[in-house]
Amino acid sequence: MAYLFHPLTLVTFLPLLGVLIILFLPPERKNIARWVALITSLATFGISIAVLAQFNPQDPDLQLVVNLPWIQVSTWSIAFHLGIDGLSILLVLLTTLLTPISILSTWTAIEERVKEFMIFFLLLEIGMIGVFLAQDLFLFYIFWEFTLIPMYFLIGMWGGSNRIYAAVKFFLYTMAGSVLMLLAIIWLGLNQGTFSMPELIAKDSVPAELQTWLFLAFAAAFAIKVPMWPLHSWLPDAHVEAPTAGSVILAGVLLKLGTYGFLRFNLQLFPAAAWQLAPWMAGLAVVGILYGAMVSYAQKDVKKLVAYSSVSHLGFVMLGLFALNSQGVQGGILQMVNHGLSTGALFLIVGMIYERRHTRDMDAFGGLWKVMPVYGVLTLIVALSSMGLPGLNGFVGEFAILLGAWGAGSPDGSLGSVWFAGLAAIGVILAAVYILLMFQKMFLGPVTKDENRNLADLNWREIGILVPLVILIFWIGLYPKPFFTLMGPAVDQLVAAIQSAAVTGIP
C-alpha cells in the first residue's frame, strides 16, 4: 500500500481517478466532466510540485524510486519501476502544467462528446508521465505505445475536416518506429538478462558493434516522434487537424517523448554508438532546423506555420543533445521545456482566433492589434520567445545549444564544429523572419477585413491560461539558473559516461 501513495505512483495514476469518475457521469453533464478533468489535472500538477519539493538536485541518480516486481517468469522479469532524475523532472512538470491548461482551453471549444474527450485527455496524461518516469524498458514501451491510443482518438474524433487521414497517419507512422524499438528492447532484455535501466546502464556490456544497430532501432522510434527530418511528414497533418488542446499537448509534450527517448535511452544505453553517430544525428538536426524554418516561411495557414516551426525547434533540441557535452545537453533539455511553453502557447493563441473566426488563413487577418490589444500583446511575447529574443526563454536554450554545438567543453571537440553551430544560427535568423512576418500580417497595419472589426478581445479564462506560460517564458529568459540547477548533476554524469565510452568504446 505504501507504494500506492508514493508520489511517483500518484503523479502517474491520479488522472485515472478522474477517468473513472467521468466514466460514470451521464453524457449530458458536460460541465461536471470538464470540472472533474480540470481538478484532477490540477491535483496532478500539485503532486508534481510536491515531487519537485522532495527532489534533491545535487543527486545525479534516480530518486523517489518505486520498484515492484510485476511479471515474473523463469527466463526474465519485468518490474514496475519508476524513478525521477534531473533528465526527466522538468518534463514531468511541463506535462502536468500543460495538461490543465489544455483542458481549460477546451472549455468552449469542445462541445461534442465532452465526456469522452476528457477521458482520453486524462489517459494521455497517464501515458506521457509514465514514459518520463518508467525505468524498466518494458514498462516504458507500454506507456510509450499507450500514448498513441488517446491521441489517435483525440485527433480522429475532434479534429478538423481531414482528421481521419491525419489520425491514421499519426498512428501508423509512430507505430512503425515503435515496433523496431520493441525488437531492440526484446533483444536487449534477452541478451542482458534484464529490462531495468539502472542495471543496464551499470552493466554497460552491449558490444560496440551491436550498439549501432540497437541505437538505430531505438532511434527509429524516437526520430519519428521528434520528428526529425526526413521523418516529419506526419506532423503537419496531425497538428493541423488536431483540436487546439490536442495540438498543445502534441507539440508541448508528445514530441518531447522522442527527444527524451534519445536522451534517456540512446545516450545512456549506447554511449559508444551515440558518440560515433553524433555527427550524423547533428547533421540531420541541422537540416531539420533549416528545412522547418524555410517551410514555415512558405505557409499561409498559421497553424501549419507553427507546426513546421516545431520541426525547426526540435532540430535545435536534437543538435543540443548530440553535441554530447554539458552545455549542449542542458540547452537541449531546457529547449524541450521552452518549446513546450512557447509552441504550446502559440497553438493556444491560434486556437483562440480560430474559435472566433473559423479560419487560420493569415490573409484573412490584419490589424488585429487594434481590435484585440490584449491578444496582440500576449501573442507578441510568445512569438518573440519562439524566435529566441534575448531576455525570453528561447534565447537561453538556443544559446546553450549553439555553445554546445560549437564544441565548448568537449575533450577532443569531435562534434564541436563551426559548421553545425553556424548553420543552426542561420535557423535562428530564419525563425525571426517567419515569425515576424506572421505577426506583421496578422496584427499590424490597418484592419483590412470587415469581419475582424468586432472581434472580442480575450476573456479572463483565455488570459488566465496564457499568463502562467508567459510568466515562465520571462522567468526562464531572465533567470534560468534554477532550471539548470535541477538538471545539471544528472547531465554531467551522463556526459561523463558518454565521453568515457567514447575513449574506450571505439576500436
Partner 1 sequence: MPDDLFMSMLAILPLIVLAAWACVLLLIDLIIPADRKGWTAALAAIGLLVTLGVLLAGGWKHYPGFGGMIIADGFSVFVCSLLLLSGLAGIALAYDYLKRTELEHGEYYPLLLFAVLGMMLMSMAADLMVVFLALELLSIPLYILAGIGVPRLSSEEASLKYFLLGAFSSGFVVYGIALVYGAAGTTGFQAIADAITANTYDASLLLIGAALILVGLGFKVAVVPFHMWTPDVYHGAPSSVSAFMAVGAKAAGFAALLRFFVLVLPSLSADLTPVLWAISALTMILGNVVAIAQSNIKRLLAYSSIAHAGYILMALVPYGQGDVAAQSVASALFYLVAYAFTSFAAWAVVIAVERSGEQGTNLEDLAGLGHSHPGLAAVMAVAMLSFTGVPPTLGFFGKFYLFSTVIDGGFIGLALIGVLTSLVSAFYYLRVIVIMYMREGEPVVRREFWLYLTASAAAVGTVLLSIFSTPLLNWASQAVLLFS
Contact positions vs partner 1 (CB under 8 A):
70-76, 113, 116, 138, 141-142, 145-146, 148-149, 152-153, 156-157, 163-164, 167-168, 171-172, 175-176, 179-180, 182-183, 186-187, 189-190
Report the residue number, 217 or 362, with the smaller CB distance to partner 1: 217
Report the residue number, 16 or 371, with the smaller CB distance to partner 1: 16
Report the residue number, 86 or 159, with the smaller CB distance to partner 1: 159
In whole angstroms, the minimum distance from the beta carbon of 182 to partner 1 comes to 6
Question: What are 66's strand-pairing partners?
Answer: 82
**Residues 6 or more apart in contact with residue 122 via CB below 8 angstroms:** 15, 16, 18, 19, 22, 37, 40, 41, 99
Q: Which of 439, 442, 251, 468 is nearest to 356 (CA)?
A: 442
Report the residue number, 185 or 333, with the smaller CB distance to partner 1: 185
In whole angstroms, the minimum distance from the beta carbon of 156 to partner 1 comes to 5
The rounded distance, in Å, linking the Cα atoms of 202 and 177 is 27
In whole angstroms, the minimum distance from the beta carbon of 206 to partner 1 comes to 15
In whole angstroms, the minimum distance from the beta carbon of 358 to partner 1 comes to 21
In whole angstroms, the minimum distance from the beta carbon of 152 to partner 1 comes to 8
Return the number of other C-beta atoms located less than 10 Å from residue 68's C-beta.
Answer: 11
The rounded distance, in Å, linking the Cα atoms of 141 and 146 is 8
Do residues 297 and 430 touch, judged by C-beta distance below 8 A? yes
Report the residue number, 148 or 424, with the smaller CB distance to partner 1: 148
In whole angstroms, the minimum distance from the beta carbon of 148 to partner 1 comes to 7
In whole angstroms, the minimum distance from the beta carbon of 163 to partner 1 comes to 7
Give the end-to-end CA distance of the chain in Å, rounded to a whole number: 50
In whole angstroms, the minimum distance from the beta carbon of 143 to partner 1 comes to 8
Element (H, E) at 345: helix 326-357
The grid coordinates listed for 309 are 516551426
Element (H, E) at 81: strand 77-84
Report the residue number, 85 or 116, with the smaller CB distance to partner 1: 116
* DSSP state string for 246-308: HHHHIIIIIHHHHHHHIIIIIHHH-HHHHHHHHHHHHHHHHHHHHHHHHHHHT-SBHHHHHHH
Provide φ and ψ at 466, rounded to 5°.
-85, -30
Question: What are 80's strand-pairing partners?
Answer: 68
Report the residue number, 38 or 214, with the smaller CB distance to partner 1: 214
The rounded distance, in Å, linking the Cα atoms of 268 and 280 is 18
In whole angstroms, the minimum distance from the beta carbon of 497 to partner 1 comes to 27
Return the number of other C-beta atoms located less than 10 Å from residue 359's C-beta.
Answer: 14
Report the residue number, 134 or 314, with the smaller CB distance to partner 1: 134
Do residues 247 and 111 touch, judged by C-beta distance below 8 A? no
Report the residue number, 167 or 415, with the smaller CB distance to partner 1: 167
In whole angstroms, the minimum distance from the beta carbon of 190 to partner 1 comes to 5
* Per-position b or e across 434-460, b if 16+ CB within 10 A of its CB: bbeebbebbbeeebeeeebeeeeebee
In whole angstroms, the minimum distance from the beta carbon of 140 to partner 1 comes to 11
Question: What are 56's strand-pairing partners?
Answer: none
In whole angstroms, the minimum distance from the beta carbon of 70 to partner 1 comes to 8
The grid coordinates listed for 398 are 538556443
In whole angstroms, the minimum distance from the beta carbon of 31 to partner 1 comes to 20
Report the residue number, 156 or 258, with the smaller CB distance to partner 1: 156
**Residues 6 or more apart in contact with residue 111 via CB below 8 angstroms:** 30
**Residues 6 or more apart in contact with residue 303 via CB below 8 angstroms:** 239, 240, 247, 347, 350, 354, 360
Q: Which of 234, 12, 245 is nearest to 131 (CA)?
A: 12
Report the residue number, 170 or 260, with the smaller CB distance to partner 1: 170
Report the residue number, 70 or 479, with the smaller CB distance to partner 1: 70
The grid coordinates listed for 480 are 534560468
The rounded distance, in Å, linking the Cα atoms of 11 and 14 is 6
Report the residue number, 179 or 437, with the smaller CB distance to partner 1: 179
